[in-house]
Structure 1
Amino acid sequence: MAPNALLTPVQVGSIELKNRIGMSALTRNRAPETYPTDLIKEYYVQRASAGLIVSEGILITRQGTEWPYAPGIWDDKHVAGWKNITDAVHAAGGKMYAQLWHVGRVAHPDAPEQKLAGTPVYAPSAISARGGKFRHIPGTPGYVTPTAIDDPWKIIAQFKHAAINAKKAGFDGVELHGANGYLIAQFLDSTANKRTDEWGGSIENRSRFGLEVLKALKEVFGPDVAVKLSPAGGYNDVGMPLQETLDTFSYFITEADKLNLSYIVLVRYTAGFDIEIDGVHRSTKHDVLESYRHLIKNSKVFVNAEVTPELGEKLVSEGKVDGIFIGFNYITHPDLVERIAHGKPLDNIPDIKHLQTNKDSGDWATGFTDYPRAVY
């Protein structure tokens, strides 16, 4: 095994990353009224040694998510706030993508942002996801039956507008959030998409929405567009039988790869996302990397979900992936790359209580920007 394979540069789209360790998108809900702040800037600058930072999910339009204080990117004030952050990350030697996010049917009409939007909860079909828990809404309600999107092109236009704003804000690229049961995954999944028009039914039709969004993003960012996919499903009540899963994602990944994306990140099966509903596990357990890696010929390949530095080193050294994304350990270790480079353990204890904020939170820096660096 080649030493320090994770620490070698790699070309991704139009930019060269200084290493192959990416910081995965991590929802931390610390954006009051959806606007990014100097505290969020401090958080990302602390982690600028990552080869690539992918922002927390950024809402392309107002939506009543389960996460209060999730940031947005639909107006000029958002652009200014994110520009403040990307400028600082670049000054610290980092690169940063915006993860563009639409939650679809897992929004709630009584959430503050959905009320401000003045629009229904939208999804491919009027089929409710099961489960959910909106802790910031009285009574902690679950998911509701959404309103079927009348014209998906309207949502595609919102994605493109968000990409235009991300470009203005100085992001190096955009990552489409196609994972974890959100809108792109809802269109792909036959249990959530029962449309009978050109956006539903066949695999090709269910794939159309995500592929058209990627094409729209490429009109703005050219080669610097990526997508995150979680074929094993489970989270937010998505998941198809194994053969349908393999057929659907094989088609989608093959077609997405033809667009020459900067990278495709494949989320592995993890027990934590294998939600059980009515006694049935919603995930479709299979080896995601083994099943789809061979289909990707024009885009770089990254892998995510419980990927340790040791596993990442092995996968990169063997040529199975071009890089890795690390999530949870990046919350607790701002100097994660330096720790890997110097053989230091990832031993900071996570402050679970302050992973996200809530209506009673006051000190948003705690559990956010106060994790110690190792001694070198």
Structure 2
Amino acid sequence: MAQANILFTSLRLGSTTIPNRIGMSAMTRNRAAKGSIPTELMQEYYVQRATSGVGFIVSEQVAISSQGSQWEDLPGMWTDEQLGHSGRTSHPDAALQKASGEPVYGPSAIAARGGKFRFLPGEPGYVVPTPIPNPRTIIAQYKHAALNAKRAGFDGVELHAASGLLISQFLDSKANQRTDEWGGSPVNRVRFALETLDALREVWGKDVSLKISPANGTNDVGMPLEETIATFGYLLKEVDTRGLAYVSIVRYNAQKDAVYDGKPRGTPHDVLATYAPFLSNTNLFANGGVTPTEAVSLLSATEPRVDGVFFGAPFIAHPDLPQRISQGKPLDNALKFAYLYDKLEEDWTVGYTDYPRAI
């Protein structure tokens, strides 16, 4: 595994130098207590992996408000990370959503297809959302959550603009059909993401990052290829001027793509090769199904330039993943996890409303 040495070189991310290029990706687990309060079990889970030699860890999605919480036991950051808001993929009958006293919001009054809220009677799907009257009220919630994250002792925040949640809904012309300054063109649809990043930078400076998934159709988002490249290309061109710690780009995965009316929803294309040229000043992390062998190849290649990699599922099966990679040990728990994951594969085709509690 001598070639793996490239994975174990240091890298500067914002104001922090990480010891290697291995990141643990955010993975929703639904382990918070009532009221979205983190638990000792969650602490144990992260401590196990933090002591494995990992370069850095991005926590599971942390909701910025109870109104924008899609899952029943998602941790929250709205009272005294990856920051997220589910937008139109929330449900009005979910406990946290009801407690907020607010409707389900989205960019426009367009429901996402699919959904399966198994913790609600009848397993309902997604609903038609209420268009957000003033998106800057939500941006203020992101900023408030970022302030709470800083007080809690985090090292930075990652803005969740992937997986068909609120930020990606604004980016997407099928979900966002507004005619004001927030929609109608790539420049306007990108505005919500950029103003949110700017609000986070007011709190964290350069310790802000961004996660996007331009190719995936999760939660019923996805545009034609030319429009996708125009939108995300403009977004990353603007992001590259803002001095972020990194951008994480999730690659297309046909197995996880949502299927509607018998057709995959995503827009398959090589996201690393397509969008890396827009990031000359920002670290780029590859995310989505990366294997250790492939990670070495990605970091060794000149084009596209990749500065680090995220692993997700392998960290679930192997808390000691970095040690195993460095010592050339097999990932022999992966088959056990793959068996469990395959049994739950159907859930990925209808959205993240029932993310596997077993993991």
Q: What TM-score, normalized to structure 2?
A: 0.91
Q: What amino acid is aligned across from residue 102 of structure 1 in structure 2?
A: H
Q: What amino acid is aligned across from residue 70 of structure 1 in structure 2?
A: L
Per-residue CA distance 1:135-161 (angstroms, 9 max, x = gap): 000000000000000000100000000
Per-residue CA distance 1:10-38 (angstroms, 9 max, x = gap): 11111001111100000010001200011
Q: How does 1:329-348 map to 2 (within 5 A)?
A: 329-348=314-333
Q: What amino acid is aligned across from residue 332 of structure 1 in structure 2?
A: A
Q: What amino acid is aligned across from residue 138 of structure 2 in structure 1?
A: I
Could you tell me whether the CA contact under 8 Å between 1:264 and 1:300 is conserved in 2? yes
Residue 85 (structure 2) aligns with: 102
- State the 1:280 CA deviation: 2.7
Residue 54 (structure 1) aligns with: 58
Q: What amino acid is aligned across from residue 273 of structure 1 in structure 2?
A: K
1:303 equivalent to 2:289? Answer no
**Distance (whole Å) between structure 2 residues aligned to residue 254 and residue 273 of structure 1:** 28
Change (3 A) 1:336 1:120: same
Q: Provide the secondary structure at the position in 2 that maps to 1:175.
A: strand
Q: What amino acid is aligned across from residue 242 of structure 2 in structure 1?
A: L
Residue 74 (structure 1) aligns with: 78
Q: What amino acid is aligned across from residue 40 of structure 2 in structure 1?
A: D
Residue 347 (structure 2) aligns with: none
Q: What amino acid is aligned across from residue 165 of structure 2 in structure 1?
A: Y
- State the 1:279 CA deviation: 2.7
Q: How does 1:132-211 map to 2 (within 5 A)?
A: 132-211=115-194
Per-residue CA distance 1:245-302 (angstroms, 9 max, x = gap): 1111100111111111100011101013321112332100100001000110111000
- State the 1:307 CA deviation: 0.4
Could you tell me whether the CA contact under 8 Å between 1:2 and 1:317 is conserved in 2? no
Residue 121 (structure 1) aligns with: 104
Residue 13 (structure 2) aligns with: 12
Could you tell me whether the CA contact under 8 Å between 1:7 and 1:19 is conserved in 2? yes
Residue 39 (structure 2) aligns with: 37
Structure 2: stretches of 5+ with no match in the other structure: 345-356
**Distance (whole Å) between structure 2 residues aligned to residue 114 and residue 306 of structure 1:** 32
**Distance (whole Å) between structure 2 residues aligned to residue 150 and residue 30 of structure 1:** 32
**Distance (whole Å) between structure 2 residues aligned to residue 240 and residue 304 of structure 1:** 21
- State the 1:345 CA deviation: 1.2
Change (3 A) 1:64 1:253: closer
Question: How much identity, in percent, do the aligned residues show?
Answer: 57
Residue 270 (structure 2) aligns with: 287
- State the 1:3 CA deviation: 4.5
Could you tell me whether the CA contact under 8 Å between 2:215 and 2:268 is conserved in 1? yes
Could you tell me whether the CA contact under 8 Å between 1:66 and 1:135 is conserved in 2? no
Q: What TM-score, normalized to structure 1?
A: 0.87
Residue 218 (structure 1) aligns with: 201
Per-residue CA distance 1:142-198 (angstroms, 9 max, x = gap): 000000000001000000000000000111000000001000000000000000000
Q: What amino acid is aligned across from residue 35 of structure 1 in structure 2?
A: I
> Cα RMSD between the aligned structures?
1.7
Change (3 A) 1:298 1:64: closer
**Distance (whole Å) between structure 2 residues aligned to residue 114 and residue 228 of structure 1:** 25
Structure 1: stretches of 5+ with no match in the other structure: 77-97, 356-365, 369-376
Aligned to 1:254, which of 237, 240, 262?
A: 237
Q: What amino acid is aligned across from residue 328 of structure 1 in structure 2?
A: A
**Distance (whole Å) between structure 2 residues aligned to residue 304 and residue 224 of structure 1:** 19
Could you tell me whether the CA contact under 8 Å between 2:103 and 2:130 is conserved in 1? yes
- State the 1:66 CA deviation: 4.6
Residue 352 (structure 2) aligns with: none
**Distance (whole Å) between structure 1 residues aligned to residue 15 and residue 68 of structure 2:** 35
Could you tell me whether the CA contact under 8 Å between 1:64 and 1:109 is conserved in 2? no
Could you tell me whether the CA contact under 8 Å between 1:31 and 1:37 is conserved in 2? yes
**Distance (whole Å) between structure 2 residues aligned to residue 180 and residue 22 of structure 1:** 19
Residue 93 (structure 1) aligns with: none
Per-residue CA distance 1:207-248 (angstroms, 9 max, x = gap): 000000000000000010000000003000000001001111
Q: Provide the secondary structure at the position in 2 that maps to 1:56.
A: coil
**Distance (whole Å) between structure 2 residues aligned to residue 66 and residue 185 of structure 1:** 15
Change (3 A) 1:278 1:367: closer
Per-residue CA distance 1:310-333 (angstroms, 9 max, x = gap): 111111122421100011111111
Aligned length: 337
**Distance (whole Å) between structure 1 residues aligned to residue 226 and residue 162 of structure 2:** 19
